Structure 1
Amino acid sequence: MDFHIPAPVEDYRRRIAAFVEAELIPLESDPASYDSHGNIALPLLDAMRAKARAAGLWCLQLRPGTGGGGLSKVGMAVCYEAMNRSIFGPVVFNSAAPDDGNMMVLERVATPEQRARWLAPIVSGAVRSAFAMTEPHPGGGSDPGMIATRAERRGDTYVVTGRKWFITGAGEAAHFILMARTSDDARKGLTAFLFHKDQPGWRILRRIGIMGPEEHGGHCELAFEGLEIPAENVLMNEGDGLKLTQIRLGPARLTHCMRWLGLSKRCVEIARAYAAERQGFGQRLADRESIQLMLGDLAMRIEIGRLLVMKAADALDRGSFARKEISMAKVHVANLLHAAADTAIQINGARGYSTDTVLEWIYRYARQARLVDGADEVHKMVLNRFLDAEGDAFWSWDVAA
């Protein structure tokens, strides 16, 4: 196994790190940088995005022909970690969910005409997007087989009725990917559709309040009351919706982990800086064994997370769905992020609990990590299925040809 990264990836990482340090970290301490939901204010975001584009750091996850930098999944792991040293980083580089996952799946499966209409505006930053899959009970959540929203074909049009909720970014999105049921077939019953916010027949019922902070556009509940979608706006083919969710959600789960590693490292960075200067009872915090144990444990867990993410990224680059590898990374890194924020707050004391640092922001954000894109328990069940199927081969090594 070769853990070296290519020189062009290191060049991107270095440039991203310099941009984050010079342009984004200083913004985090200014209350004027934030919107009312705890994210970067949109006028400021537009200015920072223009700078990122001018620096050649825009949409690096996409192919050059699409307007990106052509990074592999391994390259993305390196660069996304560097981007999310700042809480504002991913959205500035147009590498934040849900646009990130939507752009990658559209690039992979959309027709040329669909890419021109639906993908190009997201890549340019002209619009934002959302992925509408999750539903209120008894509809589908982690189990897409439970999706109840229906799309009935009438000639060359599908008519959609149903409900969705916790749809990230829906309040600011113009382009939507919608998962709906077109038959009761267990494997071919779902279909993916594209629609625009201005089409009639659907509405946002509410922006659901969360512990926060929130992505732009929040997490919304949607009602579909006769939305008409032309057949030309079906992604892939009718009945390919489950396949599309597999194509989209696996890499998207891993990109979350890539970004969360950056936030975890930032927590350690803030904790180490404070421990190095804070004195108590005649001794620096950094010289206390209890603090050293906390930080050493986090350093080890972050490195374990990086190795899990890299193994999954390499498997994706080699054409695997990497379900087992992604589930392991998702569980570990989601829990790591929460632990890193909690430990850093403990070391910083009241300062960490205040808004004088971004630790409280990261702590509030971190709790969702164990829920989004599959709760911990779902991924552990997936891993147990692999264990039952593979036995001792669960831990086998790939053998070079």
Structure 2
Amino acid sequence: MDFSISPELDQLRQRIRAFVAERILPLEDDSSSYDEHENINLDLLDSLRKEAKAEGLWCLQLPPEDGGLGVGVQGMAVCYEEMNRSIFGPVIFNSAAPDDGNMIVLSKLGTPAQKERWLKPIVDGDVRSAFVMTEPHPGGGSDPSMINTTAELNGDTYVVKGRKWFITGGAEATHFILIARTSADPRRGLSALMFHKDQPGWRIVRRIPIMGPEEHGGHCELEFDGLEIHKDNLLFEEGRGMRVTQTRLGPARLTHCMRWLGLAKRCVEIARDYASYREGFGVRLADRESIQLMLGDLAMRIETGRLLVMKAAWALDRGEKAQAEVSMAKIVVANVLHDAADRAIQINGARGYSKDTRLEWIYRYARQARLVDGADEVHKMVLNRHLNDKGDEFWSWPVQ
């Protein structure tokens, strides 16, 4: 495993870093930059997206034939970390969830006609999208086998009935990928279907209030009462909804980690800056051993997360599933993000708890990291399953 990067990728990384520093970070201190849900307001977002697109910093996760830069998963790890130095960053480069994962799965599994209809508008930045999977009890969450929403084929049309919730971006999305039950087959009972927001037969029940801040479009509860989807809008094959889900969620979990590393580093940056000049009892905070221990520990854990992310990215670029590698990265990075925000607030004292820094924003955002795309406990169960299957080979070295 060689994690060195090419000069070309490093130049792209530096261009993204400069764009974030010069065009995005200054906006975080202006209250007019925010919408009512504490994210970047849509008019400002639209303007910055045009700038990023004009500078060739757009959709780097997709292959060139689908409108991207084709940097690969390792390249994404390098660049996404830089994007999320700002809380506004990834969405400006069209690299934020849920669009990011939806574009990746449509690129990999969509037909040419489906890419033209469902993928291209997201790539162009004309529409937003959502992935519709999670259901309220007794439906499916981390366990997709429990999904109750049905899509019954009637002639050439699937008729959808059921309920979903915590659908990220639902209120702003135009294109949706829905996971629904098309048969009782325990292995091939789920399918992925695509629909447009203007189709009848479904509605947003509510935008679920959360600890916040929120992604654009929030986290919504949806009801389906006869939504009709033509079979041409079946993604991949009937009964292969789990394949679609795995194709999307594996890389999506890892891209979350890439972005979270950027936020964790931002927390350390804010903490180090304050500690460098703030004095108490005649001593700079930076000179106190307790502060040094906190920051040194975070530096080590962030680097551990970076290595786990890069190992998983390396495996995905080689065509491996990397399920265990992604789970390890997800657990470690989600926890270090939370702890980086918490300790940075502690170092900044009341200043960190206020809105004078971005730390309280990151802290509230960070708590979801240990839940989204599989709770820590679920990923630890996945790792235990791999350990039981492989035994001591769980810790094997790749052989060329």
1:28-78 CA-to-partner distances (Å, cap 9, x unmatched) read: 011110000010000000011011011110111111121111111000000
RMSD of aligned Cα (Å): 0.5
Q: Distance in 2 between matches of 1:102 and 1:7?
A: 29
Q: Distance in 1 between matches of 2:175 and 2:6?
A: 35
Q: Distance in 2 between matches of 1:70 and 1:380?
A: 32
1:103-128 CA-to-partner distances (Å, cap 9, x unmatched) read: 00001100000000000000011000
Residue equivalent to 1:397 = 397
Residue equivalent to 2:134 = 134
Q: Distance in 2 between matches of 1:3 and 1:189?
A: 40
Residue equivalent to 1:101 = 101
SS in 1 for 2:301: helix
Q: Distance in 2 between matches of 1:172 and 1:123?
A: 16
Residue equivalent to 2:316 = 316
Q: How far off is 1:321 after superposition?
A: 0.9
Q: Distance in 1 between matches of 2:67 and 2:181?
A: 33
Q: How far off is 1:18 after superposition?
A: 0.2
Residue equivalent to 1:266 = 266
Residue equivalent to 2:275 = 275
Q: How far off is 1:3 after superposition?
A: 2.1
1:199-235 CA-to-partner distances (Å, cap 9, x unmatched) read: 0000000000000000000000000000000010000
Residue equivalent to 1:340 = 340
Residue equivalent to 2:362 = 362
Residue equivalent to 1:147 = 147
Residue equivalent to 2:182 = 182
Residue equivalent to 1:384 = 384
Q: Distance in 1 between matches of 2:142 and 2:261?
A: 23
Q: Distance in 2 between matches of 1:346 and 1:55?
A: 38
SS in 1 for 2:326: helix
SS in 1 for 2:121: helix
Q: Distance in 1 between matches of 2:32 and 2:182?
A: 47
Q: Distance in 2 between matches of 1:235 and 1:49?
A: 28
Residue equivalent to 1:202 = 202
Residue equivalent to 1:9 = 9
Deviates more, 1:18-27 or 1:61-70: 61-70
Q: Distance in 2 between matches of 1:63 and 1:323?
A: 23
Q: Distance in 1 between matches of 2:72 and 2:62?
A: 9
The residue type paired with residue 223 of structure 1 is E
Residue equivalent to 1:193 = 193
SS in 2 for 1:161: strand
Residue equivalent to 1:121 = 121
SS in 1 for 2:192: strand
Q: Distance in 2 between matches of 1:67 and 1:316?
A: 21
Q: Distance in 1 between matches of 2:3 and 2:225?
A: 52
Q: How far off is 1:17 after superposition?
A: 0.3
Residue equivalent to 1:62 = 62
Q: How does 1:22-61 map to 2 (within 5 A)?
A: 22-61=22-61
The residue type paired with residue 247 of structure 2 is I
Residue equivalent to 1:329 = 329
Q: Distance in 2 between matches of 1:50 and 1:362?
A: 26
Q: Distance in 1 between matches of 2:250 and 2:186?
A: 20
Deviates more, 1:196-205 or 1:57-66: 57-66
The residue type paired with residue 178 of structure 2 is L
Q: Distance in 2 between matches of 1:114 and 1:208?
A: 31
Q: Distance in 1 between matches of 2:347 and 2:16?
A: 28
The residue type paired with residue 323 of structure 1 is Q
Q: Distance in 1 between matches of 2:124 and 2:299?
A: 37
Q: How many residues align?
A: 400
Residue equivalent to 2:302 = 302
Q: Runs in 1 of length 4+ with deviation above 3 angstroms?
A: none
Q: Distance in 2 between matches of 1:8 and 1:378?
A: 38
The residue type paired with residue 257 of structure 1 is C
1:228-281 CA-to-partner distances (Å, cap 9, x unmatched) read: 000100001110101110100000000000000000000000000000010110
Q: Distance in 2 between matches of 1:214 and 1:330?
A: 20
| Unaligned 5+ runs, structure 2 | none
Q: Distance in 2 between matches of 1:359 and 1:282?
A: 26
Q: Distance in 1 between matches of 2:71 and 2:218?
A: 29
The residue type paired with residue 384 of structure 1 is N
Residues 1:292 and 2:292 are matched in the alignment? yes
The residue type paired with residue 158 of structure 2 is Y
SS in 1 for 2:167: strand
1:142-189 CA-to-partner distances (Å, cap 9, x unmatched) read: 011110000000000000000000000000000000000000111110
SS in 1 for 2:204: strand
Q: Distance in 1 between matches of 2:35 and 2:184?
A: 43
Residues 1:85 and 2:85 are matched in the alignment? yes
Q: Percent identity?
A: 73
Residues 1:156 and 2:156 are matched in the alignment? yes
Normalising by structure 1, report the TM-score: 0.99
